[in-house]
Structures are given as C-alpha cells and as structure tokens.
Structure 1
Amino acid sequence: MLWNIHVKNMALIQEVDVELSTGLNILTGETGAGKSIIIGAVNVALGAAGFKGFAREDAEYALVELIFSVENEKIRRRLEELEVPVEDGQVIISRKLAKGRTISKINGETVTVSRIREAAEVLLDIHGQHEHQSLLYRKNHLAIVDEYAKEELEPYAEKNEELYKRWQRQKRELSNMQTDENARAKEADFLRFEIEEIEAAALMEGEDESLEEQYRKMVNGRKIAEAAAEISALLSPDGGASEMTGRAIRSLSAVAELDGEISGLNDQLYDIDSLLNDFNRELSDYVERLSFDEQEFSRVEERLDLINHLKSKYGNAIPEILAYQEERQERLNVLENYEACLAKLQKELAFCETELLRNAGKMSEIRKKYAFDLSVKIKEALEDLNFLDVQFEIMFETLETPGLLGIDDICFMISTNPGSPVKPLNEVASGGELSRIMLALKAVLADKDATETLIFDEIDVGISGRTAQKVSEKMAVLAKRHQVICITHLAQIASMADSHYVIEKKVENQVTFTSIQKLSEKESVEELARILGGAEITPTVLKSAREMKELAAQMKKS
C-alpha cells in the first residue's frame, strides 16, 4: 500500500507530505487548487511522466518520493523476481531533478526508469482522467481479457510468441530459398570462391596478433641495425672519427716535446683514441649479434597483408572470418542439396504452423472461458453502477492467419437500453458511460489481481445524481479489499471517505502555493457542504452534508 507521498518544488507545491491510510482515501479541493499536480507528481515518481512542466524553475531541485508498505506475499515475490528489494516491509521510490539531471532510486539504490516502471506495475494501478478513452480501441479489449485470464493463459502466450517468431523466420528462409536455377548456380559459384579464398589462407586463431608483435620487433630491429651501421661508418678507422683522431695524435706528438703543457693534452688525446677504439669494438660485436632477416620480414609482412585483406572482406577478426566461412559453407550445402533442403524446410514450416495454430487454438479456448466469466462480472458491476437494463458481451472473431497474440480479435459489445441490440462499445457509450465501464473493469480486474493500491483521478467525469451515488458505493466496496486513492469533485463519492484530504491554494507574501491537509470528521462535513453549496454554506447545506456523511457510514457498515 502507498503510505506516504512527499513532494517538493513541483508546480504550485513548495513541499507537502501526505500520510495515507487503508480503505478509501478521498482528495477534494477547488478547481485549480492543484489536485492534478498530486497525481502528476506520482506519475513522475513512477516514471510515467517527466519533470518537464512540473518542476519549479526557481528551485535548486525537485523531488517526489513514495513509500509503499508490502505485506502481500504474492507482490513481494513479484518484486523479488524484478530484483526490487523489499527492506523492512517497505519499498521507497524516489526521483529527483537537480541541475538538469534526473536521479531515480529504489530504497536508496540508483536504478533505471524502466526498473521503476516495472515495480510500479506491481505496486499500484493508476486510472487517469482520460484512460477510459482507451476502451474505444478494440486492441485494448484483447489485452483486458488476457489480463483477466493471465494466470492460465500466460504459459501459452509465451509459447505462442516463440512459435510465431520461429514460423516467421522459417517463412523468410523458405522465401529466400525459392530462386531459379541460374540464380542458385551463380550464388553457389560465388560462395565457393569466398570459401576457397579463406581456406587457402589456412588461418589460425591468434595468428594475426602473433604476427603483428613479430612485425613490430622486426621493424624496430631494422631501425637499430641501420642506426648502428651509420654510427660505425662515422667512427670507423677508415675515414671516420677514429682515423681523424689518429692523425691528430701524430700531429700533436710531433710537437709534444717542445712544450710541457702540450704533453698533457697529448695524453688526453691518447685516452680519447683508446675510448673510440673500445667503443668501435663493442659496436662491431653488437652489430654482429644483431640479426635481421630480410626474407623473414617480407614473409611476415605479406602474411599480415593477406590477413588484413580477408578482414576487410569477411570480418574484423580471424574468429569472425572463420565463422563467416562456416556460414557460407552451410549456405553452399543448402544450394548443392537444394531439393532435400527445400523439402526439409517445408516440412519444418508446416509442423511449426500446425503447432502455432494448435497453441493459438488453446489460447482461444482459455480466452473464451474467461471472457464469459468476465462478461458476467462486468454486467453485474455495471448494474451496480446504475446501468439498469445493460447487456454486455465479449465477441470473438478468428483471424485468417495467426499473429503474435494468437488468432483472436476481440470486441466489447454493449447495450444500455432495453430492446436495443448489443453494438461495439465505441458506437454506443458516451463519455460518462465509458468512465463507469472502466470503473467496472477496474473493480473486476482488481479482485483478480493482487495489486493493493488503486488510484482514480476524477473517475466521476460526466456523472451525477443517482449514478454518482452508485459509483460511490462501488468505490466503497473496492476499498474494503484495496487501498483506494480518489480525486473527486462529487459530494456523493467524497462522503464515502475513510480518510478525507483537502487540497487548497494559498497566497502568502505574494507567493501562491498548494497545501494538503487531512480533515477531521467535522472538517470533512464542512468540505462536503462546500462541494454541495458552493460559495454560500447555509445551515441547511451543512445539515445535508452531515446527513450524507451519516448515510455513507451506514452504507459502508452494511
């Protein structure tokens, strides 16, 4: 159940904290007070809407937080399947917008919006102001029946989806195979060329990586050898630095005895000559040890060129090239054994189609069984909602070819006048009638489903008088088995409240904001009087409001 709604910096709301109760929670208020903001904020929290248009531009951040209490074991298991943790019997969902970035969390852990949406489907059901319009579309009728039959239908629905996808895939394969003999011959020749080109390369996995490493070493060795040869030439005794140093020594030795200072320089030059000779010997030894095989380098380079060429045609890595070769070989086998493969595929397609039709037929049986039960319950629920002579049926039509959802096309049929034949819902129902039909559906499906919290945003659109009273009684019955949160503008519905909240728009210091307050019994009667009497609340209106509240209490007890 939804125990708490905390909203901060959303539209006219600066900050509100609503503690909800079990049973029927009613929210009322003047038009424009901000009732829709509350539902809008809940939708934002549950990932059904974004902050755009809600978040206050003058605030640093906007926040919506919902606290759910999870006691139903079935719901707990479904949440665990979605990897949504239930901590201390609670699930806390929050979404925050700050500096243009939205952060979504479940129990303090950052999650994706899709994860929040999945959890929301388990935790509560929201009926928006215009959701009843979805009943005008036949595709939604099938979804409603499937939801009602879900427990028994789901395994067959999953199998149907798998069979249908396989059937479609086999049909495409069969279509691709059905080409003329010349086209098959051309394709086979091309396939052989590709296969032979790959086979001739005799590729081995990991070979390209090994060759690239070897190539890098060879390229570096070549550079080193070239540099060593150049240095050796610059320092060699034949025209290099060593020869020049020898000439310098001979010239300096000739005059060394003429001046004592020159003798010291002569000794240094001898040392330089000795160092150069040592360096030349070590360099010569290094060059002799350094090997560079031009033929091996060419072989590695050519092999890498071949592999890279194949990569450009058949895949970005050797495993991809080999997989491509295997795929092409399978296709070639099919072309070379065309008649046998064609017969096999036709047999597989026929078998798959038979299985698909058999499974879809079983789905249809299950749907029809549950549809009959559903139509009876919807008729009873509609009678409870002041449809006096209503007839409601669920019509089935069989599709020519099976689809992802089976072979059924479903249409809700209704008659709201005595003697009138049933017609498609979209040809008969008015806006107010659609709203009540949707409430009837919600009531029936809620009994079937484990969802604990139901939210209705102005379910009372287009109704009044006796019909409004009937709707209020249905809401009260629903609230005995579920937590119901309802925004309404009708006193009949508001009078049934187990917990009554008023939403008000206030102005303080020239700032307009929305507040929410839980009402006492006395305050609830005064709010009913406001709804009944409008601007002027007379003693007579107050008395009527009090009587309405008392009658509602008696009805709930009965």
Structure 2
Amino acid sequence: MLSNLSISNYALIDSLNVGFDNGFTVITGETGAGKSILLGGLSLVLGKRADLSSLRDKNEKCIIEADFNIGQYGLMPFFEQNDLDHEEVTVVRREILPSGKSRAFVNDTPVRLDILSELGNRLIDIHSQHQTLELTENDFQLKLIDALAENAENLSKYKAQLQSYQKEEKELQQLIDFQNNADKEQDYNFFLLNELESANLKEGMLEALEAQYEQLNNVEFITEQLSKGNQLINGEQIGLLNLMTELKQVISKLSGFNEKYADLNARIQSVAIELDDINGELELFQEGIEANPSLLEEINAKLQLLYNLQKKHNVQEVSELIKIREELSEKAFETANLDDKIAAKKEALTELKNKLETLIILLRKRRTAVIPKLKKQLEEDLGQLGMPSASFQITLSNSETFKITGKDDLSFLFSANKGSAHGLLKKVASGGELSRIMLVIKALLAKYEKLPTIMFDEIDTGVSGEISNRMAMIMREMSREMQVFSITHLPQVASQGNQHYKVYKSEEAEVTKTNMRKLSEEERIVELAQMLGGKELSESALAHAKQLLN
C-alpha cells in the first residue's frame, strides 16, 4: 500500500508531504485545484516519462518520493530478478533535473525507467477516465476472463512456448529464403569453387612461381654471368684461387714474427675457405641451370591463372583467394545440407505447435467455464447500480492464427435495456454506463489480482444520487482487501471514505500553490456541505452532510 507521498518543485506544488492509511481514501477539491497535478506526480514516480515543463522552478530539480508497504505482496522474486534490495517499506524516488534528464531509484538503487514502470504496475492501478475506454477493447475484456479463470500460469507457459515457436518459425523462413537464393547462385558458386580448387592454392606460391619464372626467363644471361664468375675464380694466371694461394704463402711466412701477422694470416685463411665455398656453389649453379622452355611456359600459365583469379575476385594476395575458396566451400556444404536442416526445423515446429494447441485447449476450456459466472456477476452488480436490465453476450470463437493470448476471438456485447439489440460496448454504452461497468469489473479483478492499491480518478462521472452511493459502497467493500483511493466530485462518494483529503490552491506572495491536507471530522462536514450546496453554507446542507457521514 502507498503509505507516504512527497512532492517538491512539481507544477503548482512547491512542497507536499502527506501520509496515507489503508482502507478507503477519498480526495476532493474544486475543479482546477490540482487533483490532476497530484496524479501526474504519482504517475512520474511509477515510471511515466518526464517533461521539463513539469518543473515549477526551472533552476531546481523536482523530487517525487513514494513509500510503499510491500511485505505481504510477494514481490521478492521481482526484486531478486532486478538485483534490488527488498525492504518492508520500499522507497521509490524520481528526480527530474533542470537539464531535462531524469533519474529513478528504488531503495536508493538507480533503476531504468522500464523496471520502475514494471514495479509501478505491481504496486498501483491508477484508473483515469481515459482508461475507462480500455473496457471497450478485447485485450482488456480477455484479461478479465483470464483473471476469473485463474489462467495466469497457463498463459505464462503458452507465451513461453509461443516465443519458442515464433523463433523456430523465423529461423525456418530464413533457411527457406537462404535455400531459394542459394539455388539461384549455386551453379555459379560451384563454378567459382572448382576454379579456385583446381588452382591448388597455397600460401607463398605466387612469390615462388615469380622467382622461378624470372630464373627460367633469364637463363642465358644467368649462365653467362656464372661462367664469367667461374673464370675469375679459376683463371690460370690471374684467377682468384691462384692469387689467394700465393697470398696465403706470403703472409704465412710472417705469422711467426708477430701476433698481428698471425691474426692477419688467420683472416686470409678464412677468406680462402670462403672463396673455395663460393667456387663450389658457382659450379653447382652452373650444373643446375639449363634452359627449359616447356617448364617456363607451364609456370607462366600458372602465374597468369593466379593473376586472373586475383583480378576476378578483386584481391591482391593468394591468402585472400584461399579465404574466398573456404567461404565458397562452406556455402556449398550448407547448401548441400539445407534439406536436412529444413526438415529438422519443420519437425521441431510441429512438436512446438502440438504443445501450443494443448495449452490453447486448456485456456479455452477454463475461459468457457467462467464466462457464465462472469455474465451473471456483472449483470447482478450492475443491477445494484441502477441498471436492472443490463445484459451481456460473451462468446469465444476459434482464431486462425496464434496470438499472444491464444487462439480465441472474443465477442463481448452489451445491452442496457430490455428489447435493445446487443452491441459493442464502445457503440452502445454511455459514459455513465461505462463507468459503472468498469467499477464492477475492477471490483471483480481486485479479488483475483491481489493488487496492493487502486486509485479511481472520477470513475463516478455521469452518475448521481443513490447510484453514486452504491458505487461508493462497492469501493468501500473493495477496500477490505486492498487500499482504495477515489478522486471524486460527489458528496455521496466522499462521505464513504475512511479518510478524506482535500486538494486546494493558495496564493502566497502572488504565487499560486497547490496543497493537500487530511480533513478532520468537522472539516469533512463543511467540505461535504459545500459539495452539496456551494460556498454559502446552509443549515440544511450541514445537516445533510452530517447525515451522509453517519
């Protein structure tokens, strides 16, 4: 239940702090006094989107804080799921900064607006005049039937299965679409894959082929240069080997005289060994090189193939061609296995569909069972509210498609008078009739949904006299199970409250402010008398007010 509400710097409210008790609480005030402002502030703390225009002083932040006693409402799983501290008295706070940004906190832990909104839906049902129009919508009507049928657990299972079914259905369609596209591209992709596979692509092969091509293409020049090199090393008179032999002999004669000559001799010996190795390699190169026009032609063909593939696929490296080949190979594998995947997905869908149909039958069975009870209860309750001839025709029919609530189409028709044809609520019910229907429906839902608090904003619009008194009695009866608020202009309703609060305006230093306070017994009599007879209090109005309170 809502135990305290604090609002500062919001619209016409400078600072407001008010506590509430359980039971039936009524709120009254003149038109324009600010009752809608109070509701607006409460809506913000329950997750409604903020607006910078809400700030009274644009340079200061707006703070709205509400305390809720939640110990007995089974909200622990929600708090654990969202990593929040569960407190017997939970404090929800909303701040709107001058920048336009807003922040939300639950027990001083920052929360996202969607989490705050979800928590708010579990704490208070604020019923505005606009929400009465929900009564005319099938979703709301089916929600009512499911509440009476206690279908919550079955609906939860159905929604989970439906989510799985829709996921599998989407994946199946993606596979079918992929297969359709793959069939169109398959021949071309196989051609590209065969082309790349026949090239026997390997890392580094392009560089190796280019080096081999350069050697074979320049074999005459290379042979000529190797021959010259061999001659320079092995020439009989001025060959490097002969000259090196003489040099070794000369310097070796000096090595015994000084250590530096010995070092020089060692270096010459090392050069001689290196020169001998070079001579050996030159001879091997000469023996290994020969003109091979056919091999040159073969290598040139391989290079042209690689160059063409690079150009065709718009890449620069063989490694990129290898990657494309692997991708095409994967596509070919996927395409080859698509039939099996599609068949498996269809089988899984059939199994899920069967489970859905089982749950749908159970949902429909329970709904069908409670419809007569709902019809009877609504008609009896409306009879107590001055609509003795009200009647409903409520039927279910099978839908062709899976919906979030099952496969039931609901027909919810109403007639207020004997002999009148039944029709859709939004077409045949007046505003006053809709208010009374909504009240009895909310009273029914309250027994099943176990919501902590409900707030009616002028649900008694369009009714008066004895009917308004009976509506008040229904709200008071509801307050035995939950906390009930009613914002009203009717003295018959206001007199039934366990507590009575008044919203009023005051002017301080030429500034208009909205305030709210709890009325004492004497103040309630005056307020009711003014609601009955206007500002000028008469003895009869005061007597009538006392009679209403008693």
Q: What TM-score does the superposition give when structure 1 sets the normalisation length?
A: 0.71
Deviation for aligned residue 1:463: 1.4
Instruction: Give the aligned partner of residue 490 of structure 1.
Output: 490
Judging changes above 3 Å, is the alpha-carbon distance between structure 1 residues 348 and 93 closer, same or farther for their aligned structure 2 residues?
Answer: closer
| SS of structure 1 residue aligned to 2:54 | coil
CA deviation profile, 1:217-244 (whole Å, cap 9, x unmatched)? xxxxxxxxxxxxxxxxxxxxxxxxxxxx
Matched residue, 1:363 = 363
In the alignment, the residues of structure 1 paired with residue 4 and residue 477 of structure 2 have an alpha-carbon distance, to the nearest angstrom, of 23
Distance 1:525 1:327 in 2: 85
Q: Write the distance in 1 (CA, Å) between the matches of 2:364 and 2:58.
A: 56
Corresponding residue for residue 527 of structure 1: 527
Give the Cα separation in 2 of the matches to 1:417 and 1:195: 83
Contact 2:179 2:335 in 1 (8 A): no
Q: 2:162 aligned with 1:165, yes or no? A: no
Compared CA separation, residues 163 and 419, structure 1 to 2 (3 A): farther
Query: Is the 2:432–2:463 contact (alpha carbons within 8 Å) kept by the matching residues of 1?
Result: yes
Q: Does 1:93 align with 2:96?
A: no
Structure 1 residues 156 and 110: CA distance shift in structure 2, 3 A: closer
Is 2:335 the counterpart of 1:332? yes
**Deviation string, structure 1 residues 105-161 (Cα, Å, up to 9, x no partner):** 111111111111111111121111210012222233233334443434234323442
Query: Max radius of gyration: which structure?
Result: 2
Q: Contact 1:12–1:514 at 8 Å: present in 2 too? A: yes
Q: Is 2:518 the partner of 1:518?
A: yes
Aligned to 1:506: 506
Contact 2:84/2:109, CA 8 A, preserved across alignment = no
Letter in 1 for 2:163: E
Separation of aligned partners in 1, 2:431 and 2:93: 35
CA apart distance, 1:200: 6.3
Assess, with a 3 A threshold, how the Cα gap between structure 1 residues 441 and 186 changes in structure 2: closer, same or farther: farther
**Cα deviations across residues 182-235 of structure 1 (Å, max 9, x unaligned)?**
6374376279579979x9679xxxxxxxxxxxxxxxxxxxxxxxxxxxxxxxxx
Equivalent residue of 1:125, what SS? strand
Residues 42-81 of structure 1: pairs in structure 2 closer than 5 A: 42-81=42-81
Alpha carbons 1:161, 1:405 under 8 Å: kept: no
User: Quick one: distance in 1 between partners of 2:195 and 2:345?
Assistant: 25
SS of residue paired to 1:480 = coil
- The verdict on how the C-alpha distance between 1:345 and 1:70 changes in structure 2, with shifts beyond 3 A counting, is closer
Structure 2 residue aligned with 1:426: 426
CA distance in 2, matches of 1:359, 1:327: 40
Q: Is the 8 A contact 1:385 1:474 kept in 2?
A: no
* SS at structure 2 position matched to 1:53: helix
1:453 aligns to 2:453 (yes or no)? yes
Measured in 1, the distance between the counterparts of 2:457 and 2:355 equals: 44
Distance in 1, matches of 2:143 and 2:329, equals 44
Aligned to 1:481, the other structure's residue is in SS state coil
Task: Provide closer, same or farther for how the CA distance between residues 407 and 154 of structure 1 changes in structure 2, counting only shifts above 3 A.
Answer: closer
The residue type equivalent to 1:392 in the other structure is F
Q: CA deviation at 1:54?
A: 2.1
Which structure 2 residue ranges, 5 or more long, are not aligned? 204-309
Q: Which runs of 5+ in 1 are unaligned?
A: 203-301, 315-320, 551-558
Following superposition of structure 1 onto structure 2, how do residues 19-418 of structure 1 map, counting pairs within 5 Å?
19-87=19-87, 89-100=88-99, 101-148=101-148, 149-166=150-167, 168-169=169-170, 172-173=173-174, 175-176=176-177, 179=180, 183=184, 185-186=186-187, 189=190, 192=193, 309=320, 328=331, 331-334=334-337, 338=339, 344-418=344-418
CA distance in 2, matches of 1:195, 1:118: 57
Given that residues 146 and 152 in structure 2 are in contact (C-alpha distance below 8 angstroms), is that contact kept between their aligned partners in structure 1?
A: no
> Does the CA-based 8 Å contact 1:153-1:367 persist in structure 2?
no
- Contact 2:201/2:318 (CA < 8 Å) preserved in 1? no
Q: Aligned to 1:65, what secondary structure does the other structure show?
A: strand
Contact 2:4 2:19 in 1 (8 A): yes
- The residue identity in structure 1 corresponding to 2:424 is P
Deviation, structure 1 residue 459: 1.1
Deviation at 1:326, TM superposition (A): 9.1
1:514 positional shift? 0.9
Residues of 2 paired with 1:14 and 1:141: CA distance?
41
Aligned residue for 1:502, secondary structure, equals strand
Deviation, 1:174, is 6.6
Asked if the contact 2:193/2:329 (under 8 Å) is kept, the reply is no
Q: In 2, distance between residues paired with 1:306 and 1:371?
A: 73
Native 8 Å contact 1:494 1:528 kept in 2: yes
Q: Structure 2: how far apart are the matches of 1:40 and 1:15?
A: 15
Deviation at 1:428, TM superposition (A): 1.5
- The amino acid across from 2:451 in the alignment is T
Distance 1:450 1:527, change over 3 A: same
1:348, distance to aligned residue in structure 2 (A): 4.4
Partners of 2:46 and 2:121 within 8 A in 1: no
State the alpha-carbon separation in 2 of the partners of residues 401 and 190 from structure 1: 44
Question: For the Cα contact (< 8 Å) 1:94–1:106, is it kept in 2?
Answer: yes
Deviations 1:476-530 (A, max 9, x none): 1011111111111110110001110111111121111011111011111110011
Partner of 1:5, secondary structure, is: strand
Go from structure 1 to structure 2 and tell me whether the alpha carbon gap of 1:388 and 1:345 turns closer, same or farther (over 3 Å shift): same
| Distance change >3 Å, CA 71–CA 404, structure 1 → 2 | closer
| Deviates most, 383-392 or 179-188 | 179-188
- State the match for 2:17 in structure 1: 17
Change (3 A) 1:435 1:350: same
Equivalent residues of 1:174, 1:345 under 8 A apart:
no
In structure 2, what is the equivalent of residue 295 of structure 1? Answer: none
The TM-score normalised by the length of structure 2 is 0.72
Q: 1: distance between equivalents of 2:461 and 2:448?
A: 25
Alpha-carbon distance between aligned partners in 1 of 2:512 and 2:374, rounded to the nearest angstrom: 48
Task: Give the root-mean-square deviation of aligned CA atoms.
Answer: 3.3
Q: Distance in 1 between matches of 2:522 and 2:488?
A: 19
Change beyond 3 A, Cα 1:308–1:420: farther
Task: Verify: 1:542 aligned to 2:542, yes or no.
Answer: yes
SS of the counterpart of 2:461?
A: coil
2:440 and 2:138 mapped to 1: Cα distance? 17
* C-alpha contact (below 8 Å) 1:146/1:153 kept by paired residues: no
**Structure 2 vs 1, CA of residues 147 and 437 (structure 1 numbering), >3 Å: closer, same or farther?**
same
1:469 Cα deviation (Å)? 1.3
| CA deviation profile, 1:238-277 (whole Å, cap 9, x unmatched) | xxxxxxxxxxxxxxxxxxxxxxxxxxxxxxxxxxxxxxxx
Count residues in correspondence.
437
In structure 2, what is the Cα distance between the partners aligned to 1:189 and 1:147? 59
1:426 is matched by which residue type in structure 2? K
Single out whichever of 402-411 and 501-510 deviates more from structure 2.
402-411
CA apart distance, 1:413: 1.9
Provide the secondary structure at the position in 1 that maps to 2:512.
strand
Superposed displacement of residue 38, structure 1:
0.5
| Alignment CA distance shift 1:527-1:348 (3 Å) | same
Counterpart amino acid of 2:95? K
Give the whole-Å Cα distance in 2 for the aligned partners of 1:371 and 1:307. Answer: 73
State whether residues 62 and 95 of structure 2, in contact with CA within 8 Å, keep that contact through their aligned partners in structure 1.
yes
Structure 2 contact 165–349 (Cα < 8 Å) conserved: no
CA contact (8 A) 1:375 1:392 kept: yes
Give the 3-state SS of the residue equivalent to 1:461 in structure 2. Answer: coil
Contact 1:478 1:484 survives alignment (8 Å): yes
**Amino acid in structure 2 at the alignment position of 1:334:** N
The whole-number CA distance in structure 2 between the counterparts of 1:513 and 1:440 is 36
TM-superposed CA distance for 1:66, in Å, is 0.4
Percent of aligned pairs with the same amino acid: 30
2:475 equivalent to 1:475: yes
